[in-house]
Amino acid sequence: MKRAGRWLSSLWLAGYLGVAGCSKKEEAPPPPAAELPPAEEAPPSIPAPEGATPREGEAVAKPPVPVVPDGSTALPSSEAKEEPAPSKPPAPPGGGIAPEDAKNREWTTSPVELKRSSAPQATLRSVRAGAHPDFDRVVFEFEGTQLPGYRVEYPKEPVVQCGSGDVVSLAGKAQLQVSLMPARAHTDAGQPTVATREQKVALPVVVELERICDFEGEVSWALGTQGTAPFRIMELKEPPRLVVDVRH
């Protein structure tokens, strides 16, 4: 009995020591973690071709903004505002032919001029003069619908014939010259359209009229007056007439 008890005790002790030895065994280290592959560097972005539409999710690349030397940011040419071109000044009525100047209707002794170089050549048809209560009136009537340009003045030098250069002698103390251009006082055949070249009118101020030029698009008449009296210019229509009034 004693031997059997000893055997059981030895068996129990051996079992206990086996269990204790198992608990003291070190836990197996965990398997080494798998090494992750190194992160790949992102490839450089390639700009989309001009005019291409980016796919969904792609960022739209913006062009660089240029900087001007003064430090300010310049707008791209596509965003720069274009200033409107200056408008051209309106052309005078009548296809570019200058209209009448209202100032020419004011009394003056200074030269009065209105240029109409682009107007068609006007043909003078008649020249007549008459007295009014406060002024003498000389009328130059033309064919068509358009008056030529003109210059009216008391010249500082003696009046001369445009062809020969001969000095013109007129009655009166002064000479008022009326030059018309572009104009003519003759037909295509060379015949004068105003039959009377000289007129003795004997009005209070205007005493004589004489044509002194009909050459190369210019027609001129000289008015013999009693002095350098103020005058004014008016334009009338239907038919076209240029009126020269000389104040008494």
Domain ranges of the chain: 109-247
**Largest Cα span, the chain:** 190
Q: pLDDT class for 30, splitting at 50, 70, 90?
A: low
Q: How many CA atoms does the CB half-sphere of 161 hold within 13 Å?
A: 11
Q: Is 109-247 in CATH node 2.40.50.140?
A: no
Q: pLDDT class for 245, splitting at 50, 70, 90?
A: very high
pLDDT over 60 at 71, yes or no: no
pLDDT at 222: 98
Between vectors from CA 71 to CA 68 and to CA 75, what angle results, nearest 5°? 45
57 — alpha (psi -120 to 50), left (phi > 0) or beta? Answer: left
pLDDT over 90 at 129, yes or no: yes
Do 138 and 206 meet the contact criterion of CB atoms below 8 Å apart?
A: yes
**Residue of 234, 182, 175, 240 lying closest to 210 (CA atoms):** 175
- Residue 162's identity, in one-letter code, is C
Instruction: Say whether the peptide bond before residue 182 is cis (omega within 30 degrees of 0).
Output: yes
pLDDT at 94: 52
Q: What tokens does 192 get? A: 């004068």
Do 212 and 200 meet the contact criterion of CB atoms below 8 Å apart?
A: no
Give the pLDDT confidence of 183-242 residue by residue, as tens digits. Answer: 999 999 999 999 899 999 999 999 999 999 999 999 999 999 999 999 999 999 999 999
pLDDT at 69: 52
pLDDT over 50 at 181, yes or no: yes
pLDDT over 50 at 96, yes or no: yes
DSSP 122-177: EEEEEEEEEE-SSEEEEEEEESSS---EEEEE--SSPPB-TTT-PBP--SSSEEEE
Instruction: Say whether the peptide bond before residue 239 is cis (omega within 30 degrees of 0).
Output: yes
- Residue 188's identity, in one-letter code, is D
Q: What tokens does 139 get? A: 């009328």
CA pair distance 210, 194, nearest whole angstrom: 11
Please give the residue that has the higher pLDDT: either 230 or 51: 230
Q: What tokens does 159 get? A: 């009046």
Beta strand 135-142 pairing with 122-131: antiparallel
Distances 137 to 50, 194, 233, 238 between C-alpha atoms, Å: 78, 18, 10, 18
pLDDT at 59: 47
pTM listed for this prediction: 0.63
pLDDT over 80 at 34, yes or no: no
Q: pLDDT class for 163, splitting at 50, 70, 90?
A: confident
Mean pLDDT of 96-122: 94
Average pLDDT, the chain: 79
pLDDT at 97: 87
Kindly give, in sequence order, each residue whose CB lies less than 8 Å from that of residue 196, ignoring residues fewer than 6 positions away: 127
pLDDT at 141: 98
